[in-house]
Amino acid sequence: MSDTEVDFRTLPLPEVLRMFREQGEPADPRPDIDTESLKRRFPRLANVETRDAAIDGGARAVPARLYTDASAEASGRALVWVHGGAFIGGHLDMPESNWFALELAARGIPVLAVDYVKCLGDVHFPAPSDDVLAAWRHAVAHADELFAADTVYLGGASAGGNLTAGAVARLRDAGDRVPDGLVLVYPVVHPNGPAASAELDPDSPHGGLALNFAGSVEALGDAHAFAALGSVDGFPPTFVLVCEFDGLRPSGEAFARQLDAAGIDVALRLEAGADHGHINEPADPAALPTIEAIVRWIGGTQ
C-alpha cells in the first residue's frame, strides 16, 4: 500500500511528518466543502466575497483570505481567524477556516482568515506564532481598508486557539496593541491539554504533537508557546468554547477559570453533543450553534 492510501491518523507521528513533508497534506475527500458547494447548501452565504492575499511575514509570505459581504448589516467589528490542524496540517480551504469565515462575513463580521507555517520536524515555535503576529499587525494597520472597522478581534480553533492566545501574550509583553476580544474554540493552551497541565508524556499522541510544536522540552514551558503557563493579566475579553466529548476540553475550561480569576471578562460555552473539530464539519448539528454563539458574543448581545 502506498503512502497516499494510508490513513495518516493511524501512523506514528514521525511517519506523518515525513509524509506531509514529502507529499503534502492529503486532500480532503469530501466533495461538498468548496466555496461554491457551500454557497449552494447555504444560500445566506451567496453574497460573501473573498480575496486571497500574501502578507509579508519577514521570513516568509503568510497566506491569508479576506471575507466581506457588502449586503450584510455591518457590525462595526472584524475578526482575524486562525484554523487548527495539530500544528502540522490545516489550510484556508478547510471548513474550520473557509466555512466559518463565510458564515461570519454573511452576518456582518468581516474576517481575515490566516494560514501559518507548519511544524513538520524542521520548523517549531515561534515560527507559526510569528506568522500569526505578522497577520494580526497587518490587519490592524490596514483595518479601515480591509474591514471598514477599527474594532478587531483575534481568534482561532484548536492549534489556532493556541497560536492566538500565545500571540496575545506576546503582543502584551511587547507593549503592542492587543485584540479588542479573543475567541478560542476548543483551544489547547497547555502542553498537556487533556490534563490541563504542564506535565506530559512526550510518547503519548498529544504529548508528541506538543513537543513537535515547541521544539524542545525546555520550550514546553514557554508561556508564549502555551499561554496558560503564564500570567493572563492584560488579556482582552475572551470567549472560550469547549465541546462535551472533546479530550482537550480540560485545557479550555482551565484557561477560562484562569482568566476569570485574573479579573478578565470571560464567557465559557460548553457545546453539548459536540466533539473536537466539529466546526470543520458543516453538517454537524452542533457547528452552527457554535458559530451563532460567537457572532452574538462579538456583537455584544450575549
Q: Is the pLDDT of residue 129 over 70?
A: yes
SS3 43: helix
Evaluate whether residue 136 is within a structural domain. yes
Residue tagged 469547549 (cell numbers)? 242
Cell, residue 29 = 475527500
Average pLDDT on 276-298 reads: 98
pLDDT at 7: 62
**pLDDT at residue 3 is higher than 90:** no
Mean pLDDT for the chain?
95
Report the 3 state secondary structure along 170-218.
HHHHHCCCCCCCEEEECCCCCCECCCCECCCCCCCHHHHHHHHHHCCCH
CATH number of the structural domain spanning residue 190: 3.40.50.1820
pLDDT confidence of residue 1: 32
pLDDT of residue 301: 62
* Per-residue model confidence (pLDDT) at position 272: 98
Mean pLDDT score, 50-74: 96
Q: What residues have CB less than 8 Å from 18, skipping those under 6 apart? A: 121
Number of domains observed in the structure of the chain:
1
DSSP string, 138-172: HHHHTHHHHHS-SEEEEEEETHHHHHHHHHHHHHH
Q: How confident is the model at residue 289 (pLDDT cuts 50, 70, 90)?
A: very high
Instruction: Assess if residue 29 is contained within a domain.
Output: yes
The stretch 22-51 carries a mean pLDDT of: 97
Q: How far apart are CA 166 and CA 36, in angstroms?
A: 34
Q: Using CB atoms within 10 A of its CB, is residue 141 exposed (0-12), middle (13-18) or buried (19+)?
A: exposed
pLDDT for 203: 83
Rounded to a whole number, what is the largest CA-CA distance in the chain?
55
Residue 184: predicted pLDDT = 99
Cα gap 138→211, rounded to integer Å = 29
**Considering the domain boundaries, does residue 1 fall inside one?**
no
The backbone torsions φ and ψ at residue 239, rounded to the nearest 5 degrees and listed phi first, read -105, 125
Say whether pLDDT at 298 is over 70: yes
d(CA 145, CA 153): 16
Say what the pLDDT of residue 90 is: 98
Give the pLDDT confidence score for residue 10 in this predicted structure: 75
Residue 68 lies in a domain: yes
Q: Sorting pLDDT into bands at 50, 70 and 90, what band is 6?
A: low
- pTM for this entry: 0.96
Report, as an integer, the average pLDDT of 175-192.
98
Averaged over 136-165, what is the pLDDT?
97
CB 91 within 8 A of CB 97: yes
Q: What is the DSSP letter of 52?
A: E
% pLDDT > 90, the chain: 92
Q: What element of type H or E holds 111?
A: strand 111-114
pLDDT at 22: 95
Mean pLDDT of 150-168: 97
- As beta bridge partners, residue 53 has 64
Closest CA to 226 of 266, 177, 270, 193: 193
Residue 2 in domain: no
Q: Is residue 240 part of a domain?
A: yes
- Say yes or no to pLDDT of 4 above 60: no
142 lies in a domain?
A: yes
SS3 34: coil
The answer to whether the peptide bond before residue 285 is cis (omega within 30 degrees of 0) is: no
209 belongs to a structural domain = yes
Q: What is the pLDDT of residues 211-231, one digit of tens each?
A: 999 999 999 999 999 999 999
Q: Is the pLDDT of residue 179 over 90?
A: yes
Question: Domain residues for 172?
Answer: 9-299
Q: What is the mean pLDDT of residues 32-53?
A: 98
